[in-house]
Amino acid sequence: MSATKAKGGVRQGEPPRELEGRVCLVTGAGVRVGRAIAEELGRAGARVAVHYGQSASGARATVRAIQGDGGSERARAFPAELRAPGAAAALVKDVRAWGGRLDVLVCSAARFQRRPFEEIDGPAWHDMLAVNLEAPFRLAQAAAPELRRRGGAIINILDVAAFQAWRGYAHYAVSKAGLAMLTRVLALELAPRVRVCGVAPGMVAPAPGTPKAVLARELGRIPLGRVGSPADVAQAVRYLCTASYVTGTVLAVDGGRSAGPRSAP
């Protein structure tokens, strides 16, 4: 039987497009997790502002994927160096001018770096916090008035490193721990009109060349017994976009690792 169009232009049998008519800004949407989130929100019917810092080609690919799923006006790429003064406010202004509104802000852009504690100098420390913590703060400030008008949401992408100390990643872990607290504070500051949540991925898409012994050790600590994917994170973000009674929480997407080891020691 051929599919027929239902109300709103959605064909019967297709997944619901619960974000139809909404505009979402996803930072760092040209690569990895950010790209998966942007494409997932596009599949949910949203118009997606695809932010990128340096990954211009990746952002264009993200836009093409979303447009192919929903039309030429479904997505547009927006460059911005979020460490620059005023960049966050300018980005939000540009997105509103394009979309006519802003309903969801997803802060996914991040820096990740391994460096021994003694070797973390001033520039490395400040650069990490500028991207991973200050940029989401400034974006939230800029977007808050419009999100209040729309009854919108902010979703920050954290990391389980926000809650688990990792040797060799002091500046990264501190930045993500700060973002976890910022998520909770903003949930109070912006309630009841704006919901603010976080998603904390565990082992998602390990870097190419990760030693097999390391992967095997990590898999032994994950109750679900597999490495996660950017799609797992994107599905959690999609849920939080419309979870109307959820705010101030950080959802771990880690295969159950934060619950404890798979077996007793």
In the chain, the amino acid numbered 169 is Y
Residue 191 has a pLDDT of: 98
144's tokens: 């808050």
Q: Which residues pair with 51 in a beta bridge?
A: 78
Domain map of the chain by residue range? 18-257
CA separation (Å) from 94 to 25, 54, 107, 135? 11, 18, 16, 16
pLDDT digits (tens, 9 = 90+) for 75-124: 999 999 999 999 999 999 999 999 999 999 999 999 988 888 888 899 99
Residues 6+ apart with CB under 8 A from 174: 128, 129
Beta-strand runs (E) in the chain: 23-26, 47-52, 75-79, 104-107, 153-157, 195-201, 250-253
Q: pLDDT digits over 180-230, tens only? A: 999 999 999 999 999 999 999 998 877 667 778 878 888 888 999 888 999
Euclidean distance between CA atoms 95 and 101, whole angstroms:
8
The partner residues of 153 in beta bridges, in order of sequence, read 104, 195
Q: State yes or no: is 245 an active-site residue.
A: no
CATH label, 18-257, candidates 3.40.50.620, 3.40.50.970, 3.40.605.10, 3.40.50.720: 3.40.50.720
**Reported pTM:** 0.90
d(CA 86, CA 82): 8
3-state secondary structure of 20: coil
Name which of 209, 239, 237, 189 is nearest 28 in CA terms.
237
Q: Residue 7's pLDDT is what?
A: 43
Which is the catalytic residue, given 169, 172, 239, 245?
172
In tens, the pLDDT along 132-164 reads 999 999 999 999 999 999 999 999 999 988 888
Comparison of pLDDT for 6 and 25, the residue scoring more: 25
pLDDT in tens, 17-37: 899 999 999 999 999 999 999
